[in-house]
Amino acid sequence: MEKAVFLNKDLHFLRIAAVVPEMKVADVDFNTKGILKSLEKASAAGVQIAAFPEMSLTGYRIDDLVQHQVLLEKAMGGLRILAAETQKLNMALIVGLPVAIENKVYNCAAVVSRGKICGLVPKTYLPNYKEFYDSRWFESGSSLESTELLINGETVPCGTDLLFAVKGFPEAVFGIEICEDLWVPLAPHAYQSLAGACILFNLSASNEVLGKDDWRRVMVSSASGRCQAAYCYVSSSIAESSNDIVFGGHSLIAENGTILNETPRLRRESNMIICDIDVERLVFDRQINATMRSNSYGIPSFRKVAIEIEDVPAGEIQRQLDPHPFVPGNIADRASRCREIFSMQIGALSQKLRGAKKQNIVLGVSGGLDSTLALLAAVKTIDFLNLPRTCVHAFTLPGFGTTQRTKMNATRLGQALGVSFQEVDITGTCLSQFKDLSHKGQEDVVYENVQARYRTAFLFNKANELDAIVLGTGDLTEVALGWSTFAGDQLSHYHINVSVPKTLVQYLIGWVAEEEMKNSPAQKVLYDILETPISPELLKPANGQIQQKSEDIIGPVELADFFLYPFIRFGMRPGKILFLADTVNRRGLFCGKYEMDDLHKWLRSFIRRFFANQFKRTCMPEGPKVGSVSLSPRGDWRMPSDAEPTLWLEDLEAMYTRLKP
How many CB atoms lie under 10 A from the CB of residue 177?
29
Integer-rounded Cα radius of gyration of the chain: 30
Choose, from 108, 118, 179, 275, the residue flagged as catalytic. 179
Select from 535, 493, 502 the least CA-distant residue to 367.
Answer: 535
* Backbone dihedral angles phi then psi of residue 89, each to the nearest 5 degrees: -90, -20
In the annotation, is 198 catalytic? no
Contact 58, 100 (CB under 8 A): no
In the annotation, is 407 catalytic? no
Residue 516: burial class (beta carbons within 10 Å; 0-12, 13-18, 19+): middle
The strand order across the sheet containing 303-307 reads: 258-262, 252-255, 230-235, 199-204, 173-178, 162-166, 303-307
Residue 172: burial class (beta carbons within 10 Å; 0-12, 13-18, 19+): buried
- Cα distance between residue 523 and residue 36, in whole Å: 60
- Cα distance between residue 9 and residue 636, in whole Å: 29
Contact 410, 396 (CB under 8 A): yes
In the annotation, is 179 catalytic? yes
Helix, strand, coil shares, percent, the chain, to 5: 45, 20, 40
Contact 395, 424 (CB under 8 A): yes
Select from 541, 532, 529, 533 the least CA-distant residue to 401.
Answer: 541
- Cα distance between residue 156 and residue 303, in whole Å: 12
Question: What sign has the CA pseudo-torsion 217, 222, 223, 228?
Answer: positive
Q: Collapsing DSSP states into helix, strand and coil, what is residue 422?
A: strand
Residue 225: burial class (beta carbons within 10 Å; 0-12, 13-18, 19+): middle
Choose, from 54, 85, 180, 208, the residue flagged as catalytic. 54
- Cα distance between residue 223 and residue 258, in whole Å: 10
Contact 375, 413 (CB under 8 A): yes
Choose, from 74, 85, 118, 123, the residue flagged as catalytic. 123
Contact 264, 270 (CB under 8 A): no
- Cα distance between residue 71 and residue 26, in whole Å: 7
Which residues are marked as active site? 54, 123, 179
